[in-house]
Amino acid sequence: MMLLLTAAHREAEAARWLGHVRAGRLSAVARSLGAGDLGVDTRAGPNGNTGLHEACAAGCFEVAAFLIGRGAKLDAANDWGSTPLHMAVGSGHLALVRLLIERGACLDRADSRLGSPLHYASAHNQPEAAILLASAGADLEARCRCRCGPAADTPLAVACSRGHCRVAEVLLAFGAAPPRPMSTGQAPLAAWTAATAAGQRPEQLTALARRAVWRRLRQLGPTAARQTANWLPCRLRDFLCLGLPAWPWPE
């Protein structure tokens, strides 16, 4: 009975501590750790988050920096396999994304929900976070771990299938491979193009992204470039190749 009460007490204390973390109460967080009842990587809640997970999800920069200074694990995984970097990227807290990258957080750790942090940037429409990750060397061709097999979706495919044009532009500009068949056999930009044609998403690829596609296709050579271009929907292919001279294509 005493053991059950002790376990329940610790769980309640951990839940209160995570509440302080989410609210950004730095002094309360520090007091709880100083009392010695809780560790800096204590996990609690329905998803098994640590304090650093919660701070990154809530955008509490000072608390996150304090926990990192106290030795919190940058790549601690919750029950889904998500790290604090996944949380910061998905929530769009760029200062925390930058902090975690600078401190050496793993850029390509995949969880069982969406995949790598770059997949989170694509799924949650976070182009600035995608820039930070790509600039730091994140894998542009990482595959979603939640979709097993060689045809699992890349960050570019995820961005395009959800109509997140700005993220797609960033990935193309950083050299992501041109569109290929998704795990369903569908061209990854098909859903995006259909939505644009229906007037649901007025955004279009910028000239920067268009030039990035040209450069990438040129690197593939004429035959491979034509095969890749065949996966593009006609409307988007016409847009990309608008005014494009005969091979070789210009830089």
User: Tens of pLDDT along 114-161?
Assistant: 899 999 999 999 988 998 898 888 999 998 765 443 446 889 888 877
Query: Which of the listed residues 114, 140, 166 is the one where a domain comes to its end?
Result: 114
Residues 241 and 183 in one domain: yes
Beta bridge partners of 49: 44
Query: Which of the listed residues 85, 114, 143 is the one where a domain comes to its end?
Result: 114
Residues 171 and 102 in one domain: no
Q: Is residue 4 part of a domain?
A: no
Q: Is residue 127 part of a domain?
A: no
Q: What's the rounded Cα separation, in Å, for the pair 101 and 132? A: 8
Residues 157 and 251 in one domain: yes
Q: Is residue 197 part of a domain?
A: yes
Residues 102 and 29 in one domain: yes
Q: Is residue 168 part of a domain?
A: yes
pLDDT given for residue 86 in this prediction: 98
> How many CB atoms are closer than 10 A to CB 81?
15
DSSP 126-163: -HHHHHHHHHTT--TTPPPTTS-STTPPPHHHHHHHTT
Q: Is residue 142 part of a domain?
A: no
> ∠ CA(177), CA(107), CA(60), 5° rounding?
130
Residues 90 and 168 in one domain: no
pLDDT given for residue 229 in this prediction: 55
Q: Is residue 9 part of a domain?
A: no
Structure tokens that stand for 214 in this block = 């040209």
pTM: 0.71
Q: What's the rounded Cα separation, in Å, for the pair 169 and 155? A: 12
Beta bridge partners of 189: none
Q: Is residue 140 part of a domain?
A: no
Residues 109 and 157 in one domain: no
- Any residues with CB less than 8 A from the CB of 46 and at least 6 apart, and which? none
Does the structure show a pLDDT above 70 at 245?
no
Q: Is residue 44 part of a domain?
A: yes
- Any residues with CB less than 8 A from the CB of 173 and at least 6 apart, and which? 208, 209, 212
pLDDT given for residue 205 in this prediction: 43
Query: Which of the listed residues 114, 142, 168 is the one where a domain comes to its end?
Result: 114
User: Tens of pLDDT along 35-48?
Assistant: 766 788 988 888 89
Q: What's the rounded Cα separation, in Å, for the pair 136 and 14? A: 34
Structural domain tally of the chain? 2
Closest CA to 231 of 163, 175, 169, 184: 184
CATH number reported for the structural domain that contains residue 83 in this entry: 1.25.40.20
User: Tens of pLDDT along 63-113?
Assistant: 999 999 999 999 999 999 999 999 999 999 999 999 999 999 999 999 988
Does the structure show a pLDDT above 50 at 235?
no
| Mean pLDDT score, 223-246 | 50
pLDDT given for residue 179 in this prediction: 55
Residues 77 and 159 in one domain: no
Does the structure show a pLDDT above 80 at 249?
no
- Any residues with CB less than 8 A from the CB of 91 and at least 6 apart, and which? 56, 57, 58, 59, 124
Instruction: State which H helix or E strand residue 58 sits in.
Output: helix 51-58
Domain carrying residue 190 = 152-251
